[in-house]
Structure 1
């Protein structure tokens, strides 16, 4: 039986979502938006198609067809739900509400941020396991090293190196190196976060005058206290999880279903969060006029990073 083909170029931001930020380009060029490179804010940022934006190479490197099937199941329901938002009726159909919540969850899990958290947790676990083996099982390690290599290990450095070697040969590390562990983790996490999000309601924020932009880590956890806004905390510690879905609309998980117009000051705060949380790029409507704002926020973000 034929196996599904691995997809190498994988979109982290759904093209159906990116299309909301587009306009028709020059004749024959199709729908385009403006990518803004936060690492090079002074460069000329040319318009591009949605196909050329918001993707990374081999994000899911093992059996990506399984993950793609899951993502597509969400994305197929998105156009009708977005149309309901634009019509001002996002809450009339429970299926549309579920589709919008799933869209937020999808972009929270399928992200650079989640991959960094996953990789960091694995590396910390591996380092901790080496220390635990040396502390709790030094004699067993020495006997295994003698059996496997014929060497009598005495110093802590040699014992640590052998413990690391054992861990590297474990099935968990092999699955990590092939990408199988990440694929399994990201799918499991999607279902877990989806279950958590199902208990929340949807807030649809509509920009009063200015426009939203979208970053390449677009679904961001947020806590607000007074004029201070922090982001990137665990979902269970957040006040809300937000996702821009177009130049005029942003979704937020909250305690009640509400569609409300928000002033430019709040739009600016949310756009700054998108820029600070981004891995490298933000995307905007070609006529948004947000390039200068993005450049200032990008320079501020680079100064704040350690």
Structure 2
């Protein structure tokens, strides 16, 4: 039986993006303002949430299984968001679990995780091929003779045959079909979810201004550098942050709190969203000043310069 497949897969939940929208003037429904961080000078029209942050066949094999997992979190989100808007996110324990799961969901179902997964697989594949050639040259020659009838002498020939064996392996075949990625991403969700259960939840609001949200929205951060470093392994991070509305940010922390943060800290969080984004950041359509902030920050980031909004910031790493 052919595995079920859903082609248009949203990486940022529509239920989350809708928190950043206003009603549209036509039949497209609520709309959000995107800014292209790769081409910050390019004007962007308002878009419906359905048209934003989706990838064709992100999970390319049996995606219905992954979608069921994501939906188990997303269908609980509206009630949790209502509790956040009401200022009572901790009144019902299940809302805390839902909000924490939203962080985990957006951390795992992301461009960033897929890049890490792909790079890790390629690194392991090269290492396996090298070890086979280095540790088992004679068995490799015998297998080459059995399969091809050729006596391989040079190291280059052995390396090429080892690559052929790696390509023929079940693991590599599953990598090619996407079956391995689906298994990996579902397993990673459950592992990170278990790790996050040991953290408490912070619900933070800015004293002034608004948050934007990127298409890699749940970001690991360390706050002991300026600017903040980000996208490190969870074990090396101080928190994972996720904007969920223009006025609310979720962060994993040491205790459950509802708190306000100064404008400078909000700017730092927005800059992390811009730098961590794969292509777009999104904001409320009427956030004119925030749009200017996003475009200028992205422009200077891509040019390798410092954002003028943080005088003390300095570039900590090159982006791709």
TM-score bin, normalised by smaller chain: over 0.9
**Residues 51 and 176 of structure 1, relative CA distance in 2, 3 Å threshold:** same
Structure 1: tracts of 5 or more residues without a match = none
Q: Establish whether residue 121 from structure 1 lines up as the match of residue 120 from structure 2.
A: yes
Question: For this pair of structures, how many residues does the alignment match?
Answer: 305
Distance in 1 between residues matched to 2:2 and 2:142, nearest whole Å: 44
Alpha-carbon distance in 2 for matches of 1:86, 1:118: 36
Partner Cα separation in structure 2 for residue 182 and residue 18 of structure 1: 25
With over 3 angstroms needed to count, the CA separation of the structure-2 counterparts of 1:120 and 1:138, relative to structure 1, is same
Which consecutive residues of structure 2, in runs of 5 or more, have no partner in the other structure? 305-317
The TM-score normalised by the length of structure 1 is 0.97
Instruction: Calculate the TM-score normalised by the size of structure 2.
Output: 0.93
8 Å Cα contact 2:203-2:250 kept in structure 1? yes
Counterpart residue number, 2:269: 270
State the alpha-carbon separation in 1 of the partners of residues 190 and 102 from structure 2: 12
Structure 1: 4+ residue segments shifted above 6 A: none
Which residue does the alignment assign to 1:305? 319
Which residue does 1:20 correspond to in 2? 19
- Supply the RMSD in Å over aligned alpha carbons: 1.2
User: Hey, what's the Cα distance between the residues in 2 that align with 1:127 and 1:276?
Assistant: 30
- Structure 1 residue 296, shift from structure 2 partner: 1.6
Q: Which moved more, 1:102-111 or 1:292-301?
A: 292-301
Answer yes or no: is the 8 Å Cα contact 2:219–2:242 preserved in 1: yes
Q: How does 1:1-306 map to 2 (within 5 A)?
A: 5-225=4-224, 227-289=226-288, 290-302=290-302, 303=304, 304-305=318-319
Tell me how far 1:291 sits from its aligned partner. Answer: 1.7
Provide the secondary structure at the position in 2 that maps to 1:225. coil
Contact in 1 for aligned 2:144/2:151 (Cα 8 Å): yes
Q: Deviation at 1:5? A: 3.8
Deviation at 1:226, TM superposition (A): 5.6
CA-CA distance at 1:3 after TM superposition = 6.9
